[in-house]
Amino acid sequence: MTVLTAPRLAPGVRLHRTADGDLLRTADGTLHAVHLPPAEADELRRALVADRRPRTPTAAAAYEALGAAGHLRPTTTPTARVHGTGPLADATAAALRRMGAAVEQAAGDRLRIEVTAPRTASVEAWSAEGHVVVAPRAVPLADVVARWRAAGHHRRLDEVAPAAEVAPTVVAASTTPSPRAVELVAHTLASEALDRADGPGENASRDAYLATTIDLRTLAVARRPVLPVPTPPR
């Protein structure tokens, strides 16, 4: 058995060549058989060693599958811009740097993270009543805020104000929760931003409509579905 450790493979990932074919060992130690014709398997190995994309369609498809499963290193350094001021914005920028992103900070009246890695994605957060709410990918922050306020006042969902008339008023970027809460929120925001940038960017899945709520006192994290506020009929 020969073991391939290539610069393109993610940390802890190895490709083993055996008499029966190649085996992929993931970072957690799981083994997966790589079902490729010998010539395609050779091209995949050459590409991983040379840190390039395979030149044949079959090997290229296997290469893309490895990347989608998180077994390859990012081809580019993610670039992030954190809008906002205060401890939470600073901690979010620090968390992004620890995750390998190049980070710029800019002033803003609410916390917003923009990332390109490899596609553009953004994350916005809002705070109220001791909670930070992270808007899901498919729902504008203003709509999330509208539904939060409606639920807090026990109003019917069909009485929620339309999104065009709703604007966040509480500045999440300048809130000062406990240090543990700050680190939890920062890590959550940074991870969400990078995951969205690395993901397929589609709004068809249920995850695209799950808002993340963090209790700043208990540090409990919950994900709940939320839908956009419908446009009122004319």
pLDDT tens digits for range 156-168: 444 444 444 433 4
pLDDT band at 28 (very low <50, low <70, confident <90, very high): confident
Do residue 131 and residue 110 come from a single domain? yes
Structure tokens belonging to residue 178: 């406990």
Indicate the number of domains in the chain: 2
pLDDT at 192 over 80: yes
Q: What is the mean pLDDT of residues 186-209?
A: 83
Q: Is residue 207 part of a domain?
A: yes
Q: What is the mean pLDDT of residues 42-66?
A: 86
Q: Is residue 18 part of a domain?
A: yes
Please name which of 111, 58, 54 lies closest in space to residue 80, comparing C-alpha atoms. 111
Do residue 87 and residue 168 come from a single domain? yes
Could you give the CA distance from residue 12 to residue 35 in angstroms, rounded to a whole number? 21
Do residue 139 and residue 177 come from a single domain? yes
Do residue 43 and residue 95 come from a single domain? no
Q: What is the pTM of this model?
A: 0.62
Do residue 84 and residue 61 come from a single domain? no
Do residue 56 and residue 152 come from a single domain? no
**pLDDT value of position 180:** 93
Do residue 99 and residue 144 come from a single domain? yes
Could you give the CA distance from residue 64 to residue 219 in angstroms, rounded to a whole number? 37
Q: Is residue 73 part of a domain?
A: no
Q: Quick one: 85 exposed, middle or buried, by C-beta within 10 A (0-12, 13-18, 19+)?
A: middle
Q: Is residue 74 part of a domain?
A: no
Do residue 83 and residue 188 come from a single domain? yes
Any idea which residue has 């930070």 for tokens?
A: 132
Do residue 141 and residue 33 come from a single domain? no
Write out the residue range of the structural domain in which residue 103 sits: 79-225
Q: What pLDDT, in 10s, does the model give residues 120-148?
A: 899 999 888 889 999 999 999 999 988 88
pLDDT at 56 over 80: yes
pLDDT at 53 over 60: yes
**pLDDT value of position 152:** 66
Structure tokens belonging to residue 24: 């992929």
Residue ending a domain, choose from 68, 88, 119? 68
Do residue 162 and residue 101 come from a single domain? yes
Residue ending a domain, choose from 17, 49, 68? 68
Structure tokens belonging to residue 17: 């060549």
Residue ending a domain, choose from 68, 98, 118? 68
Do residue 55 and residue 160 come from a single domain? no
Do residue 83 and residue 53 come from a single domain? no
Of residues 16 and 160, the one with the higher pLDDT is 16
